[in-house]
Chains A and B, each alone.
Chain A
């Protein structure tokens, strides 16, 4: 059942103490006295904004962390592969070029991690696309040899990046709910 507001005649839920439309007190016969809210206690305060910020940062940090982890793994992988190739006389001539490419990739993921601080969702999408594309092409170009190398790490990275996208989606949905542009 709805009560209509005596001030603006808007419909209100039964248990409402204040009109949802004009904010004036409703005749509900409450023993508890409704409070008159002063301007210093308005809801959209700095404190409210700070709370929203904290919640959003929690989600974006997940994407930032995931992309930073990929950057670190990529750097470690570059060093390991460089060391392995240098000991292999057949491939040592390519070692420098491969190291350079892998370090560039690590730098790109570091940059994506930085971008994720403000826009976690787009950064995580680009991260997943880049990682999967590079490693698939690498696997094909090597005739399937590199596909099995570190396959567990690769799968974990893909799962982590998908999680980063999910965190980004949640971040975006929270922003929509909070009305943050």
Chain B
């Protein structure tokens, strides 16, 4: 595993040779052999024994040859030197790398934990870059014809939704648990509270930053209303569409794919950062990160996607309500 042993490594131990198939009958008296390793000491020296007590199967004589022994029972002791065995090992560090299980397949903690981690990362990065592509197309379209802002917004919303929809169908197995659960009503109350809270935080952030950097306040509804679309379209595009499809994408597919590879905490941070970066508005990064973390909190704690959708809807609707009130 490593080139040089660490200081204080185990004393070099002359590993005894791999035993040849035993010609002697196994009926040798037990007393002629070395005494058994003290089972009590083994137990006493392993206070956090990670293995459950082993229950031997009653019928072992009739064990078929083709079933590897190690797959049925992960080894608890090295079969070559008798040291306690960590199921995560593929070779014993105590006796110079003997396979504990020469005839069976080695017990592999990685395959037991669900195999390689690469797939989840590819899937989450794939979806992220597809959605980034939508934003890039939108930005280019806006540069080509800045008068058609409303039409481009609608086109981007539809394209975003279609990509997420197809991706969701393709990886429905991943989304199913979060869609099958509704979550306790407590989380819906929390979602409304968090939606109002993040809106207040976002208003303070945007108000402060637009004043500091002296940039005009962006409006979601204005371009659409100017182009002759009604409030129905505005609500659909600004409040409903993001609530459903951004949740499916970020808290559904991306968060759970990342969880294949990294811990829940890291997956929450990474998916929130992706959510933040994809909005492409540096002035909004602070409150977008807060919103992303709050939505991940709801998703992870409630086990369902719906409280997050409600919170996202509440937040975006409040933006529209205040824009409507301002005129």
Residues of A that sit less than 8 Å from B by CB: 1-30, 32-37, 39, 41-48, 50-51, 54-55, 119, 121-122, 125-126, 128-130, 132-133, 136-137, 140-141, 143, 165-166, 169, 172-173, 176-179
In the complex the two chains form, is B8's CB within 8 Å of A2's CB? no
Q: How far is the CB of A63 from chain B (nearest CB, A)?
A: 12
List the B side residues contacting A25 at CB < 8 Å. 33-34, 36-37, 82
- Asked if B301 is at the interface of the complex by the 8 Å CB criterion, the answer is no
Report whether B76 and A21 are in contact in the complex, using a CB–CB cutoff of 8 Å: yes
CB <8 Å contact, B39 and A24: yes
- Is the C-beta of B83 less than 8 angstroms from some C-beta in chain A? yes
Q: Are A27 and B261 in contact (CB under 8 A)?
A: no
Cβ–Cβ < 8 Å partners of B136 in chain A = 136-137, 140
Asked if A37 and B81 sit within 8 Å, CB to CB, the answer is yes
A132 to B135, CA, bound (A): 13
Q: Does B110 make an interface contact (CB < 8 A)?
A: yes
Q: Choose among A14, A26, A45, A122 the residue that contacts B266 (Cβ–Cβ < 8 A).
A: A122
Contact partners of A44 in chain B: CB under 8 A: 84, 86
- Count residues of B near A (Cβ-Cβ below 8 Å): 100
B:23-52 near A, CB below 8 Å? 23-28, 30, 33-39, 41-42, 45-46, 50
- Judged by a CB distance under 8 angstroms, whether B191 is at the interface is no
Assembly CA distance A25 to B176 (angstroms): 49
Chain A nearest CB from B69 CB (Å) reads 5
| Known pairs A10-B56, A133-B132; A15 contacts B139 (CB<8 A) | no
Is B123 an interface residue, CB under 8 A from the partner?
no
**Which B residues are CB-close (under 8 A) to A178?**
86, 88-89
Is B190 located at the chain interface by the 8 A CB criterion?
A: no
List 8 A–B pairs whose Cβ atoms lie within 8 Å, in order of A's numbering: A9-B56, A29-B28, A41-B83, A43-B83, A121-B261, A140-B140, A172-B117, A178-B86
Q: Say yes or no: A55 contacts B36, CB within 8 Å.
A: no
A36 & B37 in contact (Cβ 8 Å cutoff):
yes
B219 to chain A, nearest CB (A): 21
B139 to A137, Cβ gap below 8 A? yes
Chain B residues with CB under 8 Å of A29's CB are 22-26, 28
Asked if B79 lies at the interface with its beta carbon under 8 angstroms from chain A, I say yes
